[in-house]
Structure 1
Amino acid sequence: MFFAKTTISAALVAAVNAHMKMATPAPFDPEHLNNSPLDASGSDFPCKFGVGYSATGGTTNTYELGSSQQLSFIGSAVHGGGSCQVVMTYDNPPTKDSKWKVIHSIEGGCPAKGTEGNLAENPDAKSPFSYPFKVPSDIPSGKGVIGFTWFNRIGNREMYMNCGPLELTGSGGDKANFDKLPDMVVLNIAGKPTTPEGVDYKFANPGSSVEDNTGKYGVATCGKDGCQNGGTGGGSGGSAPPSSSAPAGGNGGGGGARARAAVD
């Protein structure tokens, strides 16, 4: 019995140490950015800002309005994928009260496609998966903050969020167009509703820029008031490169604490 507990604990620690963090866009102060999810209390929302980490340092992401960019990651604990959003605000530094808007949604298969559990454990590995997104062409130029959010498909009910400094260049657009973009979805922290486990997440208002990788699992549609189960996906995300899955917790369909230990 002692051996079993030790094995589960080791798997849990490995998964925690290998959580995903944003590689591109470049994050604030990457040397001090840890790869854990947001605290369940919401104390480090947004962007994991808290003790020892803030909106300082790092390479500014200078993007031309209308340009194509890539979202990519470091780490291996992909928790069977899930759904992500690329978000931005003109506040720098942002606060809990900042207005975050969605410029791209990835429904299912983020931060990994076709992966039942986790990739081979390596917290410093560059993920084989990346996700193209386009900067809107009709919003104002200027400085702000860009980030990604992620709701994992299996494991503990969590929300991940990393951010980096942003400067948008070009002729600029209308602030009204920024205001019309969807609001960022916030779940699983600070008393917000929780996402169901084992399904992909579609967003109630994903915006006009969407990558749909749903289809293999059931889906739940999620918005600010929570998630509603039902239906199947209709993915168009294409095939994924080969990947390995975790030795336990791979199917995301219950399985108890032992099955989830490797993906928490």
Structure 2
Amino acid sequence: MTRSPVAVTLKGIGYAFGEHRILNHIDLDIEPGSIVALLGPSGCGKSTLLKILAGLLEPQQGTLHFGERLIASAAKSTPPEQRDIGMVFQDYALWPHMTVAQNVAFPLLMRRVSAHERQQRVMQALQRVGLGDFAARKPSDLSGGQQQRVALARAIIAEPKILLFDEPLSNLDTDLRESLCLEMATLLRQLGTTAVYVTHDRREAEILADRIVWLAAGSVSAIQTVTSLSGEPA
């Protein structure tokens, strides 16, 4: 990763569906290059908060900054494609008619990166996630864990300043989920990218994150610093 990560600052973020308040005055500071897990039960607001970070929803109150840049407020919202983010979804979101290489290359194609550079960067990204020999395959030829690695390669290939994860491992069985979680934790720390990871699984959060932000009823109920087995911060 050659680009510097950025801080993420949320101040007074609020959102409601009709009379039902989903987010209630969320204040959160995420340091550059850190990994934050949003953890809590269904309906606590974590997915809504991630969608606001991604630009899929606009906050009704408060402000969102990436570094010094105002990204969203009740009056203004930067489109998702202009936010310099990468996102990994729960359902992989791979195009079945494309090869693995074509799926991974898509963000670079949209940025009009040359074919030669695209090819080089696709192979680098696939090697990072352990799929260097799978470039010519179709997603249907891969296991669920391999498909999620493809989605991760696609998210990191454009070297975004921020990575967002929407419960990416929830469709996998327990053993595979934990092993892939460990791989992702290692890769994210190698990349040094600011990351926000939504999960309902405390074990995933403890493996991946530097801090766990607990949400309850649309508010931050606690913030936990994660420590490694040695007792040092992760």
Return the structure number with greater helix share. 2
Same fold (TM over 0.5): no
Q: Which has the higher contact order (CA 8 A, sep 6+)?
A: 2
